[in-house]
Each structure stands twice: as C-alpha cells, then as structure tokens.
A = this chain, B = another copy of it.
C-alpha cells in the first residue's frame, strides 16, 4: 500500500514512559513479513482508563476489556492485527479468555489485569493457539521494542505508523505522555476501527483519568470521520504508571490535560491523514450553533457528506453542497444567518452568495492539501471542530477489494 500523500515525513520521536515496556512479533496469522502482535507491559500500580465503541455488535475483546478498564488496574495490553475477533459468538469470548489466561501464566500477572484489542476481518473465528504460542517470545524481549515498532504492529490498511508525544514540566517534574494509534477506514463518530494506546508516567487517580479520557475523546477521536462507519472494535486506552510524579491539584491536572489533548488530537488527525484514499485533510469549524452538541452534529453532517467530500477531491469550491449538508443536519439553522467561508474567504451573506465573492483565492486554497471550512450558523454560540478527508477513487479501490 502506497504511503498516504498526507503522511508526515517520518515517525516522531516519542518520549520513553517509565514503567512501560513494549514487545512485538510476527504471527503470520494474516500478514507476512511484518509484526502483527503487540504486548504492552506496565509496572505494578498502573491505572487504566478506556473508551470503547458504542456498537451493538461490539467485538469480544471490547466486551471483555471494558471490565478491565472499569476495574482500573492494568499490567498488560495485548493487541493483534488481521482478525478483529468480532461476531465470533461465544467462541470469541473463549478466545480472549484463553489468551489472557495463557499470558497471565507466562508473565506471572493476574489475568483480570490484562486488556486486549483486535483489529481486522470481522466474523472469522480466531484460534487462540495462533496467538498464545508467541507469548514466550514476547515476554523474552523484556519490553525493549520501540514505539514505532509498536505502532507498526497494530496496522491493518494503515499506510504509516501513527505516534505522538509531549513532555511536560509540571510542579518541577518532567512528565511524558506518548501514544500510538491505528485506523484508516471505518472511521466515524463514536469512533471507528481505530485503536489508540496512550501511556504516561504521571500518577493520576483512576476516576480523574477516566473522566479526562472521555472528555478529550469527544474532542479528538470522536471528532473525526472518514466514511461515517463505526467499527465493532474501537478502543482508546490511557495508562498512567505513576512513576514520575503524582498529580493531584486542579492546576496540575489542567496542565496534564492540555498536554494529553495535544497528543490525542495529533493521533486523531493522523488517522484522518491516513483515511483510505485521502488526498486532502479537511478541518471544519462550526460556530454560532444552538449549542456545542448541535455544532458537532452540523460539522459531522458536512464531514460525512459524500457530495462535499467528492467536491473537495475534485478541488471544486462547491459551497452549495455545504449549504445542503447544513440543511440536512436536522439542527436549528436559518438560511439567512448562515455564513460560510472556505480558506478564510467569506462566501455567503443574507442567505445567498455575497455580491463581491471572488472564487479565485478559494480555488487556489482548494488545490492545496489542507482545506479549511468555516460555518457560522449565526444563532447562538455553540462551537465544534471536526476533521475529515476527501472521498476519492482510492477509497473505492481499497474497499471494493479488501475484506475488513
């Protein structure tokens, strides 16, 4: 698979996180010549928060790992790529159980502190024997794999590894937050076949960690859409080892949250940059909506519209399709108050095209690879930012051929 034209030049340098070890191997289960199984290990005392797909047909790993995140303590996360272990019936749960039990034996850690995530084809039974035989090899690595190797091992149709990191100084202690993600198709609100694993060496009470992750997921992974489809397997994990400093005051937590937001938005937009067939990253800013949730839904109506996305693929400044998408969102709006701008150029006024509208600078903006759409609904002060990509022949080619 050719690297996305929107991919960053190289994988960023990720801060090492004290108390976290990574290991990867190749199982040959689906992919040849590349690693496809990741083990993340965490020292004792690590808190875990998780956000999962809302799908009514959630995968076995999601169903079982939700409980691990609820309990809030983690020692390992096991991730395989190539088979989602979704819609595999009671057998699916049995496979997860067999894997966590075997891993518990190899690593001498409690099985109930092991979370799992799987991504790939839906509906194919996953034989635990195809996975468990590699646990000794994973354990023997003593957690020395790099973040890039980890990001590589969880890819399916991803064309590049996704990682992001910040180093913060909070109350005179250096704190790292590093994370990886995968996902390129089936990306939509309420998440998608996207997985993300973020770790910090800060110590944060589990209830605060969970609240922070849920809040920021709404602004990052739940604010991106590639194709409006939602996967059975979406999971975002945040593990806090507590080995640098324990953060307790509101000010410390706010500083941490700002850094975590940066990491999560970077990972989320990297997923959009790897959107199947994407050639343009589209940022949609909605303001003036009835409230923030309404702004979010209007942004998604634009970001999910095949007609808007194909127009952008064709570099056509077809703002009429944005009007259409706002109209179909089912949210409070008033034609005569709607202000639409593309690339900073105001286009509409009083429910029609501005008299002085000049398409030349907008056409120039459309030919770039980052497109900015602003919609002011003009009613109240609800705001949201949504990211999406264009819809191209590449998307069709990938999805008419690949069985995911």
Which A residues lie at the B interface, using CB under 8 A?
Answer: 53-58, 84, 86-92, 121-125, 185-186, 188, 190, 227-232, 304-307, 310-311, 313-314, 316, 318-321, 323-336, 338, 348, 350-353, 391-393, 395-397, 399-401, 403-404
Contact = CB atoms under 8 A, between A and B. Distances in A.
A312 to B, nearest CB: 9
Contact of A122 (B228, B323, B392): B323
Given A314-B400, A329-B56, A393-B393, A229 B86 contact: no
A56 B330 CA distance: 7
Contacts of A318: 403-404
Contacts of A311: 399-400, 403
A327 B87 CA distance: 10
A121 to B, nearest CB: 6
A229 B325 contact: yes
Given A329-B56, A353-B123, A324 B90 contact: no
Contacts of A188: 328
A358 to B, nearest CB: 15
A88 to B, nearest CB: 5
A306 B307 contact: no
Contacts of A229: 305-307, 321, 324-325, 328
A190 B57 contact: no
5 contacts: A53-B327, A56-B335, A92-B352, A229-B306, A318-B404
B393 A316 contact: no
B88 A403 contact: no
A276 B144 CA distance: 52
Contact of A55 (B92, B122, B328, B332): B328
Interface-centre pick from A57, A121, A307 (highest chain B CB count, 10 A): A57
A387 B124 CA distance: 28
Given A188-B328, A232-B324, A324-B231, A396 B391 contact: yes
A400 B232 CA distance: 31
A65 to B, nearest CB: 16
B396 A87 contact: no
Nearest to A93: B351
Given A57-B338, A320-B86, A333-B56, A327 B230 contact: yes
Given A327-B230, A331-B56, A352-B87, A321 B400 contact: no
Nearest to A88: B352
A320 B400 contact: no
A123 B232 contact: no
Given A57-B327, A87-B335, A229-B305, 9 more contacts: A87-B348, A87-B352, A88-B352, A89-B335, A91-B352, A186-B324, A229-B306, A232-B323, A393-B393
Contacts of A331: 56
Contacts of A399: 306-307, 310-311, 314
Interface-centre pick from A229, A305, A396 (highest chain B CB count, 10 A): A396
Contacts of A55: 324, 327-328
A80 to B, nearest CB: 16
